Structure 1
Amino acid sequence: MMKKFLLQVLGFIAVFFLLNFVVGYLYNIPVKESIKNKTHKNYLKYSKIHDPSNKYNLVFLGSSRGYTAYNPVIFDSILKTKSFNMCTSSQNVIESYYVLKDILQHQKPTTMVYEMFLQSFDTTDDYYQILSNASFFESTQLKQDMIINGFGLTGISNYLSPILCNKLYIKAAIMGLIAGGNDTASNNKKTSYWVAGYLHEEKEVSQHTINNFEKMVTPNNTAVSEKKLEYFKKIVALCKENNIELVCVRSPYPPTRLQNEKIQNLNALSEYFKNLCLQNQVTYYDFNTVENRSFKYLDTDFSDSHHMNYKGANKISVQLSEILKQ
């Protein structure tokens, strides 16, 4: 009886390792191909940051809301800086801290703009994106530090198991097959390209999406990670240690989405970040509350429910550049 049980356990372990090997192999094929063809966005970002001939004095950190909003070309033309956008998909606060440490091994920025996004502070993690960032760190010690100290046992288990690491994307692929595609595909054919880490996106949000905007994530309906709040303090301290002026910002949302939301929820979200930055003595601008007649944001300035397209990015890049210039 015991022998049969042990054989079943060994069989389960063998199947588990085999599935992990297959998933890891399959998911690595497009990654390796895109790196080889120099089309992998994270590879391109880190290649630029690690290049000693580049001397960036203004950098942007945060999630995809940041890489679609802040165009370094516009900032450089107004501020006479050399800037680079190091925001990456689903980048959370712990990642941002280690990405900044990697940047400081190669660059000496004097200003950093950090995009505040509540989901970057919540209790969920996208380990595919986390490990993608870690894979491009030049320092093995920094990579290990982020996985082990930043994310603990869960980070280690996701590093060792491709199935765990890719579970969100495996689920999305299965749901996509079940759904059989969507009717907005034609709208996705608009041109997009990368400039200094910024994504120039020409797609406009569809009317269907506008009519069905989801509710905002606020401190009242989501759990905030205490560990990520501590890592935000670490970012503040790291900037001070390196004489970097830290400016925290919150990019606009489509006006229709804001209008659909209860005002108390919007105020709670705005006040949450305002107080967090006040507690840490950090400059903060919320472009959902800053009134400026010269920069009126429209639904058509967005590619979806919260990412800006190039029209919105042009507006906020000029607006923030003028603020920083002062």
Structure 2
Amino acid sequence: MKKFLLQIMGFIITFLLINILVGYYYNIPVKKSIENKTHKKYKKYSKVHDTTNTYNTIFLGSSRGYTAYNPVIFDSILDTKSFNMCTGSQNIIESYYILKDILEFQKPKTVVYEMFLPSFDTTDDYYHILSNASFLRSSKVKRELIVNGFGLSGIANYLSPILRNKLYIKADIMKLLVGGNSTVTKKKNNSYWVSGYLHEEKEVDQYTISNFERMVNLDNTSTSTMKLEYFNKLTNLCKEKGIQLVCVRSPFPPTRLNNEDDSDNKLVTQYFNDLCTQNNVEFFDFNSINNANYRYEDANFSDSHHMNYKGANKATMQLAELIKDYYEK
């Protein structure tokens, strides 16, 4: 029995040591970029936590919103002061708690939420979730995000660097085994950050265009009941604080849309439209609105679903005009 207990104790100690080492290793680049003030999430949260900055419009959502809406252009049309708080793989639960944290420092009049089906699906990327959590200023909101938002899985991933970094650990192991990909070229420094928005100059290449994968739709994606509840929470929070919530579905490359069954795209549009109608929220889907002044091309994208600056200029202007027309009704 004593030997068994010692084995268990040894396993626990070994597991804890490995977790400490993994956490330390994967935190090195984050720590360095924060010290150098180059970490983009650090910069984002620093801006909204600084009460000398007064933002009346906040953008929330995934990286599709991060690369699609330029606050500088948006503000020039609507005379607002906006900030883009979209982040990579940000799901609706994160968006809700990010807004709760922001409201302790800012008093926005409008929140623009970028609708993306994977933000409502049943999968969770804890690396990004806990990265966002680490920058929340309110310890209460951070605890609510991890515990209330993701339950036991959230707590387990918070406590275990191995769990939250498992995808990156797997990728690093594969690199060691296969020796990496020598054909991969370094990405040129053709992007920069402004007011939380990522200005990307890269243009999607023809090879990528010809190999666009099938888009996520209601046929191949399961939505999470809990995440749908958090959309209701987001709308109720905005109503409670007197914030106008506007939801938008960002454009996709036209070739990718044309390769899809048109009914699949219409079903996603209708799904989000119904969700917003139930909550009395305005919804704009750039993939279903016909406007001769805003024709999106494949060249307006940097990959299969992120916009480059040319596309973002169009999307931002179109969104600003739609909101302006909506308020003037």
Report TM bin, short chain. Answer: over 0.9
Q: Are 1:107 and 2:106 an aligned pair?
A: yes
* Equivalences for residues 76-87 of structure 1 within 5 A: 76-87=75-86
Following TM superposition, by how much is the alpha carbon of 1:5 offset from its aligned partner in structure 2, in angstroms? 3.1
Gaps of 5+ in 2: none
Matching of residue 12 in structure 1 with residue 24 in structure 2: no
Does residue 299 of structure 2 align to residue 293 of structure 1?
Answer: no
Q: Distance in 2 between matches of 1:181 and 1:189?
A: 17
Offset from partner CA, 1:239-285 (integer Å, 9 cap, x none) = 00111110000000111111111112112111111111111111000
Offset at residue 179 of structure 1 (A): 7.3
Contact 1:92 1:121 in 2 (8 A): yes
- Structure 1 residue identity aligned to 2:82: S
Cα distance in 1 for residues equivalent to 2:286 and 2:88: 21
Q: Matches of 1:172 and 1:214 in 2, distance apart?
A: 21
The 5 A counterparts of 1:241-320 are 241-320=240-319
Distance in 1 between residues matched to 2:170 and 2:77, nearest whole Å: 44
Q: Match of 1:151?
A: 150
Contact in 2 for aligned 1:116/1:250 (Cα 8 Å)? yes
How far the C-alpha of 1:12 sits from its partner, in A, is 2.1
Cα gap change, 1:12 to 1:112, in 2 (>3 Å) = same
Q: Distance in 2 between matches of 1:207 and 1:190?
A: 21
In 1: Cα distance, 2:227 partner to 2:13 partner: 36
Q: CA deviation at 1:184?
A: 5.9
**How far 1:6 moved relative to its partner?**
2.8
Aligned to 1:134: 133
Q: Residue 184 and residue 299 in structure 1: after superposition, are their counterparts in 2 closer, same or farther (change >3 A)? A: farther
- Percent pairwise identity: 66
Name the SS for the 2:43 alignment partner: helix
Alpha-carbon distance between aligned partners in 2 of 1:121 and 1:233, rounded to the nearest angstrom: 12
CA distance in 2, matches of 1:190, 1:48: 23
* Residue 120 of structure 1: aligned partner: 119
Structure 1 SS opposite 2:89: coil
- Structure 1 stretches of 4+ moved >4 Å: none
Deviations 1:23-46 (A, max 9, x none): 000011111100000011111001
Contact 1:190–1:203, Cα closer than 8 Å, also in 2: no
Contact in 2 for aligned 1:295/1:315 (Cα 8 Å)? yes
Alignment of 1:115-264 (within 5 A): 115-177=114-176, 178=178, 180-181=180-181, 183=183, 185=185, 188-264=187-263
Confirm or deny: 8 A CA contact 1:190 1:202 kept in the other structure: no
Structure 1, gaps ≥5 residues long: none
Name which of structure 1's ranges 92-101 and 3-12 shifts more when overlaid on structure 2: 3-12
Deviates more, 1:206-215 or 1:54-63: 206-215
User: What is the distance in 1 between the residues matched to 2:256 and 2:2?
Assistant: 61
- Structure 2: which amino acid aligns with 1:272? Y
SS of corresponding position for 2:152: helix
Measure the CA separation in 1 of the matches of 2:30 and 2:226: 30
C-alpha distance in 2 between matches for 1:68 and 1:183: 27
Which amino acid in structure 1 is aligned with residue 287 of structure 2? Answer: N
RMSD value, Cα: 1.4
C-alpha separation in 1, matches of 2:184 and 2:313: 25
For 1:184 and 1:65, the matched residues in 2 are separated by: 24
CA shift, 1:175, in A, is 4.0
- Post-superposition CA distance 1:79-99 (Å, at most 9, x none): 111000000111001000000
1:46 matches 2:27: no
The two structures have a TM-score, normalised by structure 2, of: 0.95
Q: TM-score, structure 1 length as denominator?
A: 0.96
Contact 1:91–1:130 (CA<8 Å) still a contact in 2? yes
**1:11 Cα deviation after fit:** 2.5
Cα 1:212–1:175 change in 2 (3 A) is farther
Aligned length: 324
State the one-letter code of the partner of 1:75: F
Q: What amino acid does structure 1 have at the position aligned with 2:173?
A: I
Letter in 1 for 2:292: R
**Cα distance in 2 for residues equivalent to 1:219 and 1:37:** 43
Shift of 1:3: 3.6
Q: Residues of 1 paired with 2:228 and 2:114: CA distance?
A: 15
* CA distance in 1: counterparts of 2:235 and 2:182, whole angstroms: 42
Q: Distance in 1 between matches of 2:182 and 2:289?
A: 36
Equivalent-residue separation in structure 1 for 2:143 and 2:189 (angstroms):
39
1: CA distance, partners of 2:311 / 2:145 = 33
Deviation at 1:182, TM superposition (A): 6.8
CA distance in 2, matches of 1:166, 1:91: 16
